[in-house]
Amino acid sequence: MTTQNTATTSSTTGPLAGLRVLELAGIGPGPHAAGVLADLGANVVRVERPTNRTPQIVDPSNSGAGLRGRRTTAADLKTDEGREFVLGMAERADVLLEGLRPGVAERLGVGPDDCIGRNPGLVYGRVTGWGQDGPLARQVGHDINYIGLTGALHAMGRRGQTPPPPLNLVGDFGGGSMLLLVGVLAALFERQRSGRGQVVDAAMVDGTALLSQMILGLKGMGEWTDERQSNIIDGAAPFYDTYACSDGGFVAVGALEPQFYASLLQGLGIAPESLGDQNDRTVWSTMRERFTELFASRTRDEWAAHFAGVEACVTPVLSFDEAARHPHLVARATYVEVDGAMQAAPAPRFSRTPAGTPESWAPTGSRTGVDLLNDWS
C-alpha cells in the first residue's frame, strides 16, 4: 500500500476537478457516492447536522475513511440561518446529494423545488431504499430488505439453507450509490445541452433489479431456476465454487469455459474421461467429491502457487489484509494507507486526468459556513 497523511484541501486533480458538490449528511450510499466524486476531483462540501446523540450503529461512512477528500461543516436546517446556508451553497453548486427519507428535505425547506428554484442548473441527487414514491416509499429498511424484495437475495446461498446476507455491497453500494453516480453524471451530461438541472431518484430496489439483469435474462431463456444452488454460477456447478483447503483456507474456482475446465482437471491430476462431460449434471456430485477431496489435500497457498500462471481460474480466497499485500494489487496500488488505515484507492483509472491520492478528512467545524460560501462565491 502507498501511504498518504495530509490535511484535506479542495481537490484539483482528476476528471471532475472544478465540479462543486454539496452533500447533506447521511449514511451508507450517499456518503459513498460523495466520496467517489471527491476521489475523482470534485470539490465536495458535506453539511452535518449539529447533534450530540450517540449513533445507534457503527457507521463507517461517518468516519475518517468514509469522509475522505471533502470538507465538512455543521448547519441546523431547522433554523432560518442553517437553511439559508444550505440554499446559498446549493445556489453555487453543480450537484446536491441527499439520502433522507422522502419528504424530509422538503419539510426542512431544502428540497428540489427550493434548491433548483435558486439554481436552475442544479442536479439534485436523491438516494433511498424504496424510492421517492410507491407504497413503501416512507418505510424504514436496510440493504437486506431492499435486495430481499427484488429477488436478488432469494437467488443467493446454498440449497436448503437460508439466504446469507451478502454484506451490504449489493443494495447500498452496487444498487444505491453506483446508480446515484450514474444518474448524476448522466444529468450533468444532459445539462450541457439543455442548461437545466433535474432531480435524480436513485432507489436501491431499482438499482438491485438493474444489477440482476443478466440473471433475469437467463431466467427468460429458461436457463435459470428459482431454487438456490441449482444454476451455473450460484454454486451448483462444481467448477464454479469455493473449496476448503488443509489449513482452513479456501480457493475460488471459476473454470466455466471448456479450456479453463480442462486446465483445472490437468492441474488436479484428473483424467477427463474419469468424470464424463463437464456439463452433464448427473456427474456433478461425483465431480464435486473429487474436487473437495483433492483441494483438502494441500494448503490454500500451496494450491495458489500450483495454479499460478495456469489458465484454470483458480485463485486464493484472501482476507482484506491479505489482499492489500497481494503482488498484483500492490502493483496496481489498489489499496492505499491514509492516516494509518487501509482504504481503497480511487477508481477507475484515467489516462489524461488521473485522480490524486486520497486526502485525509478534516473534522466538522474545521471550516465555517462563511468560509465555504466565500470559497464557492
The tens digit of pLDDT for each residue in 31-44 reads 999 999 999 999 99
Mean pLDDT for all residues in the chain: 92
Q: What confidence tens digit (pLDDT) does each residue in 4-54 have?
A: 333 333 447 899 999 999 999 999 999 999 999 999 999 999 999 887 544
What is the CA 246 to chain-centroid distance, rounded? 33
The 3-class secondary structure across 238-278, one letter per residue, is CCEEEEECCCCCEEEEECCCHHHHHHHHHHHCCCHHHCCCC
Query: DSSP state, 125?
Result: E
**What count of other Cβ atoms lies within 10 Å of the Cβ of residue 39?**
24
Same domain as 140, residue 77: yes
Contact indicator for 375, 10 with CB cutoff of 8 Å? yes
The reported pLDDT for the residue numbered 270 is 98
Q: 62: pLDDT confidence band, cut at 50, 70 and 90? A: low
Same domain as 352, residue 282: no
Same domain as 275, residue 367: no
Same domain as 30, residue 135: yes
Could you list the residue range(s) of the whole structural domain that residue 272 is in? 250-316
Q: Which of 39, 143, 172, 201 is catalytic?
A: 172
Tell me if 325 is assigned to some domain. Answer: no
Q: What confidence tens digit (pLDDT) does each residue in 137-189 have?
A: 999 999 999 999 999 999 999 999 999 999 999 999 999 999 999 999 999 99
Instruction: Please say if 172 is a catalytic residue.
Output: yes
Match 432560518 to its residue by C-alpha cell: 80
Tell me if 361 is assigned to some domain. Answer: yes
Same domain as 186, residue 62: yes
* Three cell numbers, residue 341: 488505515
The four Cα atoms 369, 373, 375, 377 give a dihedral, to 10 degrees, of: -170
Contact indicator for 125, 202 with CB cutoff of 8 Å? yes
44 Cβ contact partners less than 8 Å away, ≥ 6 residues apart: 11, 21, 22, 23, 34, 35, 37, 38, 69, 70, 71
Same domain as 161, residue 106: yes
Tell me if 359 is assigned to some domain. Answer: yes
Closest CA to 79 of 55, 53, 47: 47
Tell me if 322 is assigned to some domain. Answer: no
Same domain as 174, residue 77: yes
The reported pLDDT for the residue numbered 4 is 35
Closest CA to 312 of 270, 279, 281, 249: 270
Structural domain count of the chain: 2
Same domain as 174, residue 121: yes
Tell me if 80 is assigned to some domain. Answer: yes
Q: Which of 76, 114, 142, 306 is catalytic?
A: 142
The reported pLDDT for the residue numbered 370 is 78
Tell me if 335 is assigned to some domain. Answer: no
* Three cell numbers, residue 173: 453500494
